[in-house]
């Protein structure tokens, strides 16, 4: 089960700070799997898995039942979807386009479980939801 997904830039704050300190201390050549930070030490079945893309770190906090390589692949899918939606995702895209970020994550993970990893299907669902949002906001009160 996936317990949380953290996405942050190179400056941030207690759990985020602890995860951040663990992740940025590592080089890109090092393994992307970490033992949990001190705040999560009492959860022996928790592990931290991350990928670094440009200035963004994508971090998943998962339990022992999740495959490390599977989560790395999931992060890759997530980033590819975001890159498709935003044409090379950046921090500002995530700040101002958080609805797209949320929609993408909801298409991939629900209830802590991975439900879809098809980039084409995920992007199509987000695109369809976006079209519905646009058409519903263009309607006037008189019909």
The residue ranges of every structural domain in the chain are 2-137
Burial class for 125, CB neighbours closer than 10 Å (0-12, 13-18, 19+): middle
> What was the pLDDT predicted at 135?
65
> What was the pLDDT predicted at 136?
64
Tell me how far apart the alpha carbons of residues 109 and 100 are, in angstroms, rounded to a whole number.
14
Give me 31's structure tokens.
Answer: 């393994």
Among the listed ranges 6-20, 23-37, 44-58, 101-115, which one has the minimum average pLDDT value? 6-20
Which residues, in sequence order, are bridge partners of residue 46? Answer: 63
Give me 70's structure tokens.
Answer: 């599977």
Please answer whether residues 46 and 34 qualify as being in contact, where contact means their C-beta atoms are separated by less than 8 angstroms. no
> What was the pLDDT predicted at 137?
60
pLDDT at 12 exceeding the cut of 60:
no
Chain-centroid distance of CA 99 in Å reads 13
Q: Which CATH number fits domain 2-137: 3.40.190.80, 3.30.450.60, 3.40.50.2000, 3.40.50.300?
A: 3.30.450.60
Q: How many CB atoms neighbour CB 8 within 10 A?
A: 18
Mean pLDDT across 98-107 = 91
pLDDT at 4 exceeding the cut of 80:
no
Mean pLDDT of the chain: 84
Q: How many CB atoms neighbour CB 42 within 10 A?
A: 8
pLDDT at 1 exceeding the cut of 90:
no
For the chain, percent of residues with pLDDT exceeding 70: 87
For tokens 């949380």, what's the residue? 4
SS3 1: coil
């Amino acid at each position: 089960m996936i317990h949380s997904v953290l996405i942050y830039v190179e400056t941030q704050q207690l759990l985020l700070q602890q995860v951040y300190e663990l992740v940025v201390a590592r080089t890109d050549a090092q393994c992307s799997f970490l033992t949990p930070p001190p705040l999560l030490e009492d959860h022996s079945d928790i592990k931290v898995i991350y990928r670094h893309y440009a200035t963004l770190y994508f971090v998943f906090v998962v339990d022992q039942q999740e495959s490390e390589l599977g989560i790395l692949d999931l992060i890759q899918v997530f980033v590819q979807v975001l890159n498709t939606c935003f044409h090379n995702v950046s921090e500002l895209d995530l700040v101002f386009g958080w609805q797209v970020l949320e929609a993408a994550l909801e298409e991939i993970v629900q209830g802590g479980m991975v439900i879809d990893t098809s980039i084409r299907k995920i992007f199509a669902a987000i695109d369809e939801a976006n079209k519905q949002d646009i058409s519903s906001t263009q309607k006037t009160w008189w019909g």
